[in-house]
Amino acid sequence: MQVELDRRRPGQSRITTPRKESDTCKILSGVGQGSTLGTPIAVSVPNTDQRGNDYSEMALAYRPSHADATYDFKYGVRAVEGGGRSSARETIGRVAAGAVAKKLLKIQSATEVLAYVSRVHGVELPDDVVDHEKLTIEQIESNIVRCPDPVIAEEMIKAIDMVRLRGDSVGGVITCIARNVPRGLGSPVFDKLEAELAKGLMSLPATKGFEIGSGFSGSKMTGSEHNDEFYIDDSGNVRTRTNRSGGIQGGISNGETIVMRVAFKPTSTITTLQKTVTREGHETEFRARGRHDPCVVPRAVPMVEAMVALVLADQLLQHHAQCQLLRFDTNLPPANGEKGSENVTLEEAATRR
């Protein structure tokens, strides 16, 4: 849990907010002698480097493209010091819980979730550069921008530095993969797996777009170009020769690697002079103070991983509750990573014992 929070914390490098927070977590309940107890896990992470006065202007005028105005429109009251629930500070809870979800997935199904920065502003990592089957956390963490290609990473860092020095910001894209996902996760129609993943990821601050598999580029293809043909591999598993579906078909995982991309907007709070309005409805000019990320994507990598892990963990629990109690066709070839001999009902298992 602390490792994941360290990846998210402020003050990691010159391309993130200069605010210094150790984000040291203290587990208050739910864990004993290194194991979960089955009770809720409560975690405390103190905020030690807050500067409420940096947000004094925010009490009078709305920050452009921030949640200040909409929170006021809806509730008539808002947290001025730091932004409250619209602050990315709330993602600490997601990352802490995601660490538990990652461990559950690894133990139960050997599922691994990895994310990396694939675009910063106009600097983009080509699709064919990263081998998703061999990608490691060490490659991702080898530089401050969390791009697994060192050459492209340097270009991304330069792009962030340029806007940082002039008080501006840029956005980017994070690519996330989930390997060894059991087939069968997700449900038809309203609870499709990609819909649940999209909801989870789009609930993160500053997100503006979600793609899975071929994404929008798939709309330019014909069916014969886009379809993922099936085959039986050497181990007798049903596989697809390509993965334009992104590991999900009909809202249900097919056992292939799930590939997603999430777009993040430029950070709203910048020190450049902007036009806005006051709470009283008067037009004015506004220059934000405080310490903010010139680009959110490097710190958002563990947030994306956490949300994907939480969704997959939920889906794994639902799948066991819904499908492991019901008889299904045990003659089907197992999916990648599954053992066919274990695809039996509880009644059959009891009979064998």
Angle, alpha carbons 88-92-94 (nearest 5°): 100
Residue 268 has a pLDDT of 87
Residue 59 has a pLDDT of 76
Residue 22 has a pLDDT of 79
Parse the chain into domains and list their residue ranges: 2-327
Which letter does DSSP use for residue 293 in this model? -
Thinking of the domain 2-327, which architecture would CATH place it in? 4-Layer Sandwich (3.60)
* Residue 345 in tokens: 């009902």
Instruction: Quote the CA–CA distance of 29 and 159 in Å, as a whole number.
Output: 43
What does pTM read for this prediction? Answer: 0.88
Q: Contact 179/111 with Cβ under 8 angstroms?
A: yes
10-residue averages of pLDDT along the chain (353 residues) = 89 72 89 92 85 67 88 86 79 95 96 98 94 96 96 96 91 98 95 98 97 96 97 94 97 97 93 90 84 88 98 95 71 55 43 38
What ranges make up the beta strands (E) of 265-333? 274-277, 283-286
Count of other CB atoms within 10 angstroms of residue 189: 8
The residue to which tokens 């309940």 are assigned: 29
The residue to which tokens 């994941």 are assigned: 4
